[in-house]
Amino acid sequence: MTPATSVAMTGQTRDDLCELLVRDDGQEDLCLALYRPSTGKRRTTALVRRPLPPEEGERVVHGNVTVTGEYIMRGAEMASAEQSGLVLLHSHPGGRGWQAMSGPDRDTEASYANLVREMTGLPLVGMTLGGGDRSWSARHWDHGVGRNVALTECANVRVIGDRLTVTWNDRIIPTPPANHRQARTVSAWGAAVQADLARRRVLVIGAGSVGLDVALRLGASGLVNITIMDFDLVEQRNLDRLVGADRRDVSLRRTKVHVARREARRNATADRPQIRVSDLSICEPDGLLEALDHDLIFCCVDRPWPRAVLNSLAYTDLVPVIDGGIAIDTHPDGTMRNATWRSHVVRPGRPCMVCTRQLDMGQVALDAQGLLDDPAYIAGVPDQNPSGQNVAPLSISVTAALLAQYVSFSVAPGGIGDPGPLQYVLSTHSLDHLDHTSRAGCMYEVAEPEGDQRQDLTGAHAAAESARALASSVPRWTRARRRLDDLVDRMNQGYS
């Protein structure tokens, strides 16, 4: 089921809120915070920006806790002045997991919901902290008026720190049952972690040699909801790297996402996997909306424009991006000099792609105008050389690097989460921790999450439009062969 509402915050914001809400005397407490909405195609996320601590007399602690109208008015006025929404948070000191609302909690939030919406133009968001395990629950008071004001429960609350921590609303997104096909996977990190990972909505952008393999292995590990985004078609020159594609896919003008979905379905271990594809570009407005519905993104593209969009998205909308790539260098005589591959998590608290020198903003405008040729991975090799993209024996190493970052960021083996930017050097077989720091005044890392008020980097993408037109402009007999192939393939896999 696609979640309709959600909440996200940085690890620092989480720590600041816990400092205000968790009391040494074990009583409940409350505070307010500001948020900005991040609106995707099917999900709206409240991005918590910062707390507004109560002043003297603005809340009364008496075992339980009571908020005053003066505090709500001050918070709503500040939210309105900053074009933000208001969050009302309170704690349940011994609570664990997703917290149900008590009658008094519901009455309190409902009594202020209309006032806040009228003053800010945005729904009141209510949140509860389970003090027993620092879990969160949340709801948006987003419909109805007067005494009939009503809420939409959130599907999850996400905290983006040195690891991605998610609290799930089991009623909306129940735990997918583990099965015998996942026994080895569950044994690696336990049933509780598997229940978390399996529910996450993950987007893979780019269905080339790396993106296809990432999607396949995510499906094999039991994830239920995977989306693969790419507009390219399979060509002859892809067949030495795009494992799973064949000459028939070329002759039928199959898209790369079709092949990726087919292979991911064949290897999926979830009982009812939902593997979706999109032929949009992340650089297009609708592609961005698709991305905002996801909890985590894999960046498997090398062009500057889509990487710039994703670089911004990780900070403005708190959707972490796992990014990486490969560079192959040759001697003048064509023999290999070296190869390096890198991986890192783009998120608040870590340097952005520009600061890690993985993105040249000077090339973004050129790419958006269609003036760049495909970037060559092999230095000094003419563009027409077919080996200038990637090679199958090494693309699997890039996949492994990205998935290792994913496991660290999601599972935190040994209590250690995101390891920071990593680089593997093939000639010396050495793994280096890169000591990148954020540039002074980096526009991405210092900003609070902006959500829908982000700078818009999207626009019409001629290459995507051309590829979609080419995929659809096939003879009738080709379309018939496609449909027949699809039917046979789905019957073989047991899909209806």
CA distances to 3, 84, 122, 363 from 48, rounded to whole Å, are: 18, 10, 13, 33
User: In the predicted model, is pLDDT for residue 384 greater than 70?
Assistant: no
Interval 141-153: pLDDT, tens: 999 988 889 999 9
pLDDT of residue 481: 73
More confident position, 385 or 289: 289
Rounded CA-CA distance 83/80 in Å is 5
The residue length of the chain stands at 496
Q: Residues 100, 136: contact at Cβ < 8 Å?
A: no
Interval 3-62: pLDDT, tens: 589 999 999 999 999 999 999 898 999 999 999 999 999 999 999 999 999 999 998 888
Average pLDDT, the chain: 91
52 DSSP β-pair partners: 32
Rounded CA-CA distance 119/53 in Å is 20
Interval 440-484: pLDDT, tens: 888 888 778 999 999 999 999 999 999 999 988 877 777 777 777
pLDDT of residue 124: 98
Catalogue all structural domains in the chain, each as residue range(s) with its CATH number: 5-168 (3.40.140.10), 184-471 (3.40.50.720)
What's the per-residue H, E or C state across 329-397?
Answer: EECCCCCEEEEEEEEEEECCCCCCCCCCCCCCHHHHHHHHCCCCCCCCCEECCCCCCCCCCCCHHHHHH
pLDDT of residue 463: 93
Interval 109-149: pLDDT, tens: 999 999 999 999 999 999 999 989 999 999 999 999 888 89
Question: Three-state SS for 147?
Answer: helix
Q: Residues 284, 461: contact at Cβ < 8 Å?
A: yes
pLDDT of residue 492: 65
Residue 382's pLDDT band, with cuts at 50, 70 and 90, is: very low
Interval 69-82: pLDDT, tens: 999 999 999 999 99
User: In the predicted model, is pLDDT for residue 428 greater than 70?
Assistant: yes
The proportion of the chain whose per-residue pLDDT surpasses 90, expressed as a percent, equals: 77
Element (H, E) at 136: strand 135-143
User: In the predicted model, is pLDDT for residue 400 greater than 60?
Assistant: yes
Rounded CA-CA distance 56/39 in Å is 36
Residue 386's pLDDT band, with cuts at 50, 70 and 90, is: very low
pLDDT of residue 1: 44
pLDDT of residue 385: 39
pLDDT of residue 292: 98
Q: Residues 48, 87: contact at Cβ < 8 Å?
A: yes
| Biggest CA-to-CA distance, the chain | 79
- Of 284, 305, 289, 307, the C-alpha closest to 231 is 284
Q: Is the dihedral of CA 32, 36, 40, 42 positive or negative?
A: positive
Mean pLDDT, rounded, for 303-317: 96
Instruction: Give me 156's structure tokens.
Output: 């999850």
Q: Residues 228, 275: contact at Cβ < 8 Å?
A: yes
User: In the predicted model, is pLDDT for residue 380 greater than 80?
Assistant: no
The pTM (predicted TM-score) of the whole model is 0.92
Tell me the HSE value of 459 on the side-chain side, using a 13 A CA sphere.
12
User: In the predicted model, is pLDDT for residue 198 greater than 90?
Assistant: yes
Mean pLDDT, rounded, for 269-293: 97
DSSP symbol at 245:
B
User: In the predicted model, is pLDDT for residue 485 greater than 90?
Assistant: no
Residue with tokens 């905290």: 159
User: In the predicted model, is pLDDT for residue 188 greater than 90?
Assistant: yes
pLDDT of residue 378: 33
Interval 81-103: pLDDT, tens: 999 999 999 999 989 999 999 89
Mean pLDDT, rounded, for 407-426: 96
Beta strands at 5-10 and 64-67: parallel, antiparallel or unpaired: unpaired
Q: Which amino acid is at 264?
A: A
Rounded CA-CA distance 71/74 in Å is 5
Rounded CA-CA distance 114/147 in Å is 9
Question: Three-state SS for 158?
Answer: strand
Rounded CA-CA distance 410/335 in Å is 39
* Listed range (205-214, 233-242, 285-294, 312-321) with the worst mean pLDDT: 233-242
